[in-house]
Structure 1
C-alpha cells in the first residue's frame, strides 16, 4: 500500500512518559516526510503546546488539536476549522467542579483559561508547555471549543460516573477520556476521526492511504477511520482490540517501529527491485 498521510497522537504515542521525543523517532519521521508523506499531529493539546512538538521534528504544517475541535496551520498559527459551543451549556458541570474541587480549564482555539490553580496543577501545565490565562468566571467566555477536567485517575473515574447520571450534558456535547488524568468535553461533532476525515478529503487522500497511530480512547475513531490503525503497546485493551495491529510502547520507539515496517522498509524494497 502506498500511504500518503501519517496521523499521530502526541502524548503516550509520539512522546515517551517523560514527554520527550527520541532521536530515533525524530529521524524516522523526517525520512518519512522526505519520502513525500504528510505528517499530521492529532492531539488533545491546544496549538500552544502541540506546535513546539511539530517544530522539534523540524516540520511546519497542519495540526488537529483539542481532540478534533480545532484544525490549525503552523506557522501562524492560523485556525483553519473550529467547532465551538456556548459556555453556558456547561453551567451545571462548572458548578459541580467548583463545589467538588475538580480542576478544570476552558479552551478557545488558541488559548487556555483557568479560574484558579494550585502548585500541582501549575506544574502540570508547565510539563505540557502551557501558560494559562486567568479569568474570574469562565461561564461568561465566548469562543469555547473544549473544557478539560484534570485530577487523579480515581477522581476522574468518579466524574465519568457522574456525567450522565447526576449531570446530564446537552445533546450537542460529549465527554471523552483523553488520558488517565483528563476528561474533555467538546462538541458532539468534534473528534480526531472527524477532523482527520475532513482534512484528508480536502487533500484528496483516501482512508486506505492513511496510517493512524494512537494510544487512548480519544484516538479510537481516528484508528478506526484510517486504512491502517495502529495502537501503542501501552494502550488499554479496548484500544488495541479496535486497531489493526499493535506496535511497541511509547517508551520503546513504537512509532519508529511502525513506520519502519509499513513505510520505510517497503520503500527501500521497492527501490531495490
Structure 2
C-alpha cells in the first residue's frame, strides 16, 4: 500500500521524552517526503511552537494544531490560517471560575496566541519546554476574542479530580473536554479534533483515507488514527490507545516513527 499522507503526533510520538528529534527520524521522514508523501504534524501545540519542528525537518506545508482546532499552512511567507473551530469566552466562564478558585493553572488560545493570568517558575519551565511564549493579561474574560482551546495544566491527581467533577456536573456544557496528556486537560469546540481536521485536509488534497497513515500516542490521537487507513500507536501509549490502534511501533524514545515509516513506507 502506498501512503500519500502521513499524520504525525508530536509530543510523546515524534519527539523523545527530552523533546528532541533524532537525526535518523529526520532522515527517514525526509525520504518518505521525497517519495511524494505529504507529512503533516498533528499536535496539541500552537502553530508557533510547531513551526520550528517542521523547519527542523526541512519541510513546509500544512500543520494541524491545537488538537485539530486550527489548521495552518506554513511556507517561506509565514503562517496562514486555513481553518479553525472556535468558541467564545462566556462559554467557559463557569470553568474559569472553578480553576481560579482552586488555583489551577490555565491558558486560553486563539489560533496564533496564548493568554494567561498568572505564572510561576513551574509553568515557565513547561512553556519553555514546549517553545511557547504566552501573553500575560489581568483577566482573559475581557479579551473578547474567539478561542480555539482552553487548557488546564497541573499534577495528574488534581486533573483526575477536575475531570471527574466536570464530567459529573457537565460543567463544559456543549463543548468537548479531552485529556491530552497526564498533565493537561483541553476544552474545545465539539467539532475540533485531529480526525475532523485530517478529514478536511484529505478532502482538499483528494486523498482517500486508505492512503493515510497516522501515528499517535494518546487519547487525543484516536480520531485521526481511526480516520486513517492505518492507525499506529507508539509503544509508550496508554492501554486504551494501544488496543484501538491497527498496529504498534516502538516507543517515542526508541524512534517508533522511524521504525513505522521504514516498515510501511520505504
Q: Does 1:158 align with 2:171?
A: no
Instruction: Pick one of 170, 182, 186 that aligns with 2:173.
Output: 170
What residue number does 1:271 align with?
none
What residue number does 2:25 align with?
25
TM-score by length of 1: 0.95
Instruction: Pick one of 121, 124, 141 that aligns with 1:122.
Output: 124
CA distance in 1, matches of 2:18, 2:98: 32
CA positional deviation for 1:90: 0.4
1:68–1:191 Cα contact (<8 Å) kept: yes
Q: Does 1:202 align with 2:204?
A: yes
What residue number does 1:183 align with?
185
What residue number does 1:230 align with?
232
What residue number does 2:44 align with?
44
Q: Does 1:247 align with 2:241?
A: no
CA distance in 1, matches of 2:12, 2:88: 31
SS of the residue corresponding to residue 231 of structure 1 reads strand
Q: Does 1:15 align with 2:15?
A: yes
Q: For the aligned residues, what is the CA RMSD?
A: 0.8
CA distance in 1, matches of 2:172, 2:16: 33
CA distance in 1, matches of 2:168, 2:245: 30
CA positional deviation for 1:167: 5.1
What are the within-5 Å matches in structure 2 for residues 49-88 of structure 1? Answer: 49-75=49-75, 76-88=78-90
Residues 9-43 of structure 1, C-alpha deviations (whole Å, 9 max, x = no match): 00000000000000110000000000000000000
CA distance in 1, matches of 2:44, 2:214: 15
CA distance in 1, matches of 2:253, 2:51: 21
What are the within-5 Å matches in structure 2 for residues 248-267 of structure 1? Answer: 248-264=250-266
Q: Which consecutive residues of structure 2, in runs of 5 or more, have no partner in the other structure?
A: none
CA distance in 2, matches of 1:193, 1:166: 27
Residues 148-174 of structure 1, C-alpha deviations (whole Å, 9 max, x = no match): 000011111111101122452121x11
Which stretches of structure 1, 4 residues or more, deviate above 4 A after TM superposition? none
SS of the residue corresponding to residue 36 of structure 1 reads coil
Residues 65-102 of structure 1, C-alpha deviations (whole Å, 9 max, x = no match): 00000000113211010111011110010010001011
SS of the residue corresponding to residue 10 of structure 2 reads coil
What residue number does 1:267 align with?
none
1:92–1:167 Cα contact (<8 Å) kept: no
2:172–2:187 Cα contact (<8 Å) kept: no
CA positional deviation for 1:140: 2.2
CA distance in 2, matches of 1:89, 1:150: 19
TM-score by length of 2: 0.98
